[in-house]
Amino acid sequence: MANANQVDYYEVLGVERGATADQIKSAYRKAALKWHPDRNPESKQEAEEKFRQASEAYSVLSDEQKRAVYDRYGRAGLDGRGFESSGFNASIFDEFQDIFGDLFGFDQNMGGGGRRGRGPRGQRGADLRFDVSLAFEEAAAGVTKQIHLTRHEVCETCQGTGAKPGTGMATCRTCGGRGQMSYQQGFFSITRTCPACQGAGQVVREACATCRGQGRVERERTLEVGIPAGVESGTRLRMTGQGEPGSHGGPQGDLYVFLEVKEHPFFERRGADLYSTMPISFPQAALGATIIIPTLHGEEEFEVPEGTQSGQTFRIKGKGLPNPHGGRGDMYITIRVEVPSKLSREQRRLVEELGRTVKVHNKPVEHSASFFDKVKDIFG
């Protein structure tokens, strides 16, 4: 490309040095239409050269950074600054597609698998989802679960090529090994990935018997999932690389384990805190009592203080769930004083006797205290 060093990019596109990006784009569009090799069958070589020059000029002038370097130092400046060679290369046709794609309906995704270079693009495998249901205690303490799933894996017989071992590959007959198909549309030839070989340019000579040429097989797998303590319903664990295999050397997808935590018969969960309601009798409330309460680690004794009111809530610190951010939540116990709905003759006599001595001032309760003011801390 000796003469490329002499050409002035602005002259090539026929624009002023101070041209705007839009002017440059429009000038390139015109030049490319004029010099597209498909439009100049008689002077193909000259047209190709002009087309290259215009594309090269455009690739520099449409890039702010490159343009600034070019303005100051010329072509030589671009060569010395680690920019990709601005000579003719395949990517120019990609740029051509960039600029004309909107006009002529080029499909970037179909355009030869990748904007730079040719050949099939490695595609990442699909992600998979697996739902796991956990008992409340499992979620609280953390657990290792085994999950059984069916997924695709790379065929071991053929290493994913789809070819019977020892048979090798043959050139794709549909595209002649180019991996692409060209179609004529008006003045343009549109290039698409070959549907027969997906752009590889090669097809299997004889299909692998294990995977019937697919390169992947369905496998049942048992995986162990370490579920950390304190997870909630809706928690999603990602197992990197445990999804479907990629194609053409692309990476594997991921497996997402969605957790559902079952409700507990006693505990209501709010974040890392646990709430439960304990019924006690009127004498227990009035006199105080030691009762047995359920915790995550079995039953424990709890001292109900003398004169406890119905609806009063006690906080037992650190008896909640592990907090994902460290520490543990608390446990809240709300006391409900049960009033017997049926009394024996003896009980009725005793309550009546009590009623003669215990007086309650029957006036509305002021709603002053917030919930937390009423919570009594028990340092557990």
Nearest CB to Zn ion, comparing residues 43 and 159: 159
User: Considering only residues 32, 99, 139, 155, which one is a binding residue for Zn ion as defined by CB under 5 A?
Assistant: 155
Cα 354 to chain center, whole Å? 66
CB of residue 112 to Zn ion, shortest distance in Å? 12
Nearest CB to Zn ion, comparing residues 179 and 329: 179
Exposure class string for 142-171: b at 16+ Cβ within 10 A, else e: ebeeebeeebbbbbebbebbbbbeeeeeee
211 binds Zn ion (CB under 5 A): yes
154 binds Zn ion (CB under 5 A): no
CB of residue 208 to Zn ion, shortest distance in Å? 3
SS3 of 193, please? Answer: strand
Nearest CB to Zn ion, comparing residues 69 and 208: 208
x/- site string to Zn ion, residues 170 to 199, per CB under 5 A? --x-xx------------------x-xx--
CB of residue 182 to Zn ion, shortest distance in Å? 12
x/- site string to Zn ion, residues 26 to 55, per CB under 5 A? ------------------------------
CB of residue 95 to Zn ion, shortest distance in Å? 25
CB of residue 205 to Zn ion, shortest distance in Å? 13
Nearest CB to Zn ion, comparing residues 173 and 236: 173
158 binds Zn ion (CB under 5 A): yes
CB 324 within 8 A of CB 317: no
CB of residue 251 to Zn ion, shortest distance in Å? 20
140 binds Zn ion (CB under 5 A): no
β-partners of residue 378 are 316
Nearest CB to Zn ion, comparing residues 23 and 174: 174
Nearest CB to Zn ion, comparing residues 208 and 280: 208
Residue 82 makes CB contacts below 8 A (sequence gap 6+) with none
Span of 158-166, 221-229, 322-330, 364-372 interacting with Zn ion by CB under 5 A: 158-166
Of 45, 48, 239, the closest CA to residue 132 belongs to 239
User: Considering only residues 12, 54, 139, 208, which one is a binding residue for Zn ion as defined by CB under 5 A?
Assistant: 208
Using left for φ > 0, alpha for ψ between -120 and 50, and beta otherwise, residue 142 falls in left
**What's phi and psi for 332, nearest 5 deg?**
-115, 130
Nearest CB to Zn ion, comparing residues 48 and 153: 153
CB of residue 159 to Zn ion, shortest distance in Å? 8
User: Considering only residues 167, 210, 281, 310, which one is a binding residue for Zn ion as defined by CB under 5 A?
Assistant: 210
Amino acid of residue 197: C
Neighbours of 74 (CB within 10 A): 13
The per-residue DSSP string of 341-353 comes to SS--HHHHHHHHH
202 binds Zn ion (CB under 5 A): no
| Strands, E assignment, the chain | 128-134, 143-154, 169-171, 180-185, 188-193, 202-204, 216-227, 236-239, 255-261, 268-270, 273-281, 289-295, 298-304, 313-316, 331-338, 376-378
Nearest CB to Zn ion, comparing residues 159 and 277: 159
- Whole-angstrom Cα distance, residue 191 to residue 184? 9
Nearest CB to Zn ion, comparing residues 190 and 196: 196
Nearest CB to Zn ion, comparing residues 75 and 152: 152
Number of residues that bind Zn ion (CB under 5 A): 12
Span of 45-53, 201-209, 244-252, 267-275 interacting with Zn ion by CB under 5 A: 201-209
Residue 333 makes CB contacts below 8 A (sequence gap 6+) with 275, 276, 277, 278, 293, 302, 313, 314, 316
Using alpha carbons, list the distances in angstroms from residue 308 to 137, 196, 353: 30, 80, 21
The site for Zn ion (CB under 5 A) is made up of: 155, 157-158, 172, 174-175, 194, 196-197, 208, 210-211
